């Protein structure tokens, strides 16, 4: 089956604020996954929760096309995919208080110190993310990289607009057979520790 073009959303121009609900035929809570990879989590979340409206952002073209084809083959209508720079999309294109849940699982840690500036979670991105998360909304973060996760914890924990909550209180409720993101499955098999944190927007 060819990719349903409605699933793919072209990135808006710089500085143009869009309404994510305009992409869907009916309203519903809006969730954003940054770095959706091959779409394992997104697929499970969308199938189990047809009332949700989901956008997955992925920069790697190979994974982006794979995920889009995957959603199309399942005939999902509550998922959209975009290939763009997630940082600038959140900072420039999303309106305030539009995201009910922000999923950020295993962001690239850029482990070499000289590359740390390339990491997604920096003060300017945190500021923008807080702006777009609706009051009462959640931000879920997961990483296998201890040093980067500690940095994320510190940045988010220092913001008065966010309150730390238990992961079990905040985690998504996907299909019963859900086994984790591709990275989560891979790293668990390798015996790596998976670090998790959840925050609620006040």
CA distance 30 to 178: 21
Please provide the average confidence, as pLDDT, over all residues in the chain: 91
pLDDT at 188: 62
Whether 182 has a pLDDT exceeding 70, the answer reads no
Q: Which of 34, 72, 75 is nearest to 56 (CA)?
A: 34
Q: What is the pLDDT of residue 192?
A: 75
Q: Is 177 annotated as catalytic?
A: no
**What percent of the chain stands above pLDDT 90?**
83
- pTM score > 0.85 for this model? yes
- Which run of H or of E encompasses 173? none
pLDDT value, residue 1: 43
Q: Is 1 exposed, middle or buried (0-12, 13-18, 19+ CB in 10 A)?
A: exposed
pLDDT digits (tens, 9 = 90+) for 91-115: 999 999 999 999 999 999 999 999 9
**Active-site entry in 108, 144, 173, 177:** 108
pLDDT in tens, 36-49: 999 999 999 999 99
What is the per-residue pLDDT for 9?
96
**Mean pLDDT (whole number) for 120-148:** 97
Mean pLDDT confidence for 173-181: 53
Q: Which residue has the higher pLDDT, 13 or 179?
A: 13
């Amino acid at each position: 089956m060819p990719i349903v073009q409605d699933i793919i959303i072209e990135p808006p121009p710089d500085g143009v604020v869009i309404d994510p609900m305009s992409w869907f035929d009916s309203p519903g809570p809006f969730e954003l996954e940054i770095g959706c990879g091959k779409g394992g989590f997104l697929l499970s979340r969308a199938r189990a929760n047809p009332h949700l409206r989901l956008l997955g952002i992925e920069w790697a073209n190979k994974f982006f096309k794979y995920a889009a084809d995957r959603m199309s083959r399942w005939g999902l209508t509550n998922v959209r995919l975009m290939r763009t720079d997630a940082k600038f999309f959140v900072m420039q294109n999303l309106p305030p208080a539009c995201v009910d849940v922000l999923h950020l699982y295993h962001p690239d840690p850029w482990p070499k110190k000289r590359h740390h500036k390339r990491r997604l979670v920096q003060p300017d991105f945190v500021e923008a993310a807080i702006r777009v998360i609706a009051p009462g909304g959640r931000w879920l973060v997961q990483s296998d990289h201890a040093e980067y996760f500690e940095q994320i914890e510190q940045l988010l924990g220092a913001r008065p607009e966010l309150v730390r909550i238990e992961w079990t209180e905040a985690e998504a409720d996907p299909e019963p057979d859900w086994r984790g993101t591709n990275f989560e499955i891979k790293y668990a098999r390798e015996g790596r520790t998976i670090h998790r944190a959840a925050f609620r927007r006040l």
